[in-house]
Amino acid sequence: MNINSLAATGCKLCFDSPPLDFDFTMAFQPIVDSRSGTIFAHEALARGLQGEPASTIFEKVNDDNRYRFDQTCRVKAVALAARLGLKGYLSINFLPNAVYKPELCIRATLAAAEQYSFPPDRLLFEVTESERVEDVGHLKSIINDYKSRGFLTAIDDFGAGFAGLNLLAELQTDIVKLDMALVRNVNEDRIKASIIRGVIQTCIDLNIRVIAEGVETREEYLCLERMGINLFQGFYFSRPVFEGLGQIDPNLFSHALG
């Protein structure tokens, strides 16, 4: 998992920065397909070495180490996913302001996939909304570059922060992930339900798949599935597993609930 061994494959801006003065690892949370009752993907989530939450890692990320951190996340996610024998897609969050030139910055990811024998056609890149996109045109070029390479792309936390309709108008990703704030108690909130139905119809028109993340209850899941969503992520199905892969109880799905 040593990113320094891959330095020659990346762009100069990514690797001229000093090594990170902190270490971290990954947890994986499954994204399930309710139609087949199988795992569609696992999202890689940064964690401290003792399982500390992602917030304790991201508070150490700054302008000086953002490039190095982004590249290290990718390599660690690929290496650990390969070691665990992950099937389906590996979903990796990336910081849009940390990608200088996509055709160069992707090299470390591809080198890691080759080094650890992980199929690159099973990579899914999520645009995280944790920071404002400084240059939407640049982000669009990143998404287009990734799509041209056969990677799946997604807008994460759609409906929160900076990830809204304006961003979707510029970026036609393969997937949109509904923010958990929209999902929470949707079965009891007609306003949220109406908004989600509108997003679903927009995504149907644009040939974009929808993932509902942050699903915690059976009622939320069934409500969203009735709306037409079939990809889900959340505690109802599985919590993130520290350095491991989640297993899904088939009895959780609607066709088994009765």
CATH of the domain at 105: 3.20.20.450
Return d(Cα 154, Cα 148) in angstroms, integer.
Answer: 14
Strand runs (DSSP E) across 15-165, as ranges? 25-33, 38-47, 89-94, 123-127, 152-158
In a domain, 254, yes or no: no
In a domain, 30, yes or no: yes
- The overall average pLDDT reported for the chain is 88
**Strand 38-47 relative to strand 231-233: parallel, antiparallel, unpaired?**
unpaired
In a domain, 257, yes or no: no
Number of Cβ within 10 Å of residue 4's Cβ equals 10
Q: How many domains does the chain have?
A: 1
pLDDT at 101 over 80: no
Structural domain span for residue 176 = 3-244
In a domain, 133, yes or no: yes
Residue 67: predicted pLDDT: 85
Residue 12's pLDDT band (cuts 50, 70, 90): low
Residue 108's pLDDT band (cuts 50, 70, 90): confident
Query: Can you give the pTM of this predicted structure?
Result: 0.91
Return d(Cα 6, Cα 78) in angstroms, integer.
Answer: 13
In a domain, 249, yes or no: no
186/171: higher pLDDT: 186
pLDDT at 180 over 80: yes
In a domain, 152, yes or no: yes
pLDDT at 256 over 70: no
pLDDT at 91 over 60: yes
In a domain, 258, yes or no: no
In a domain, 255, yes or no: no
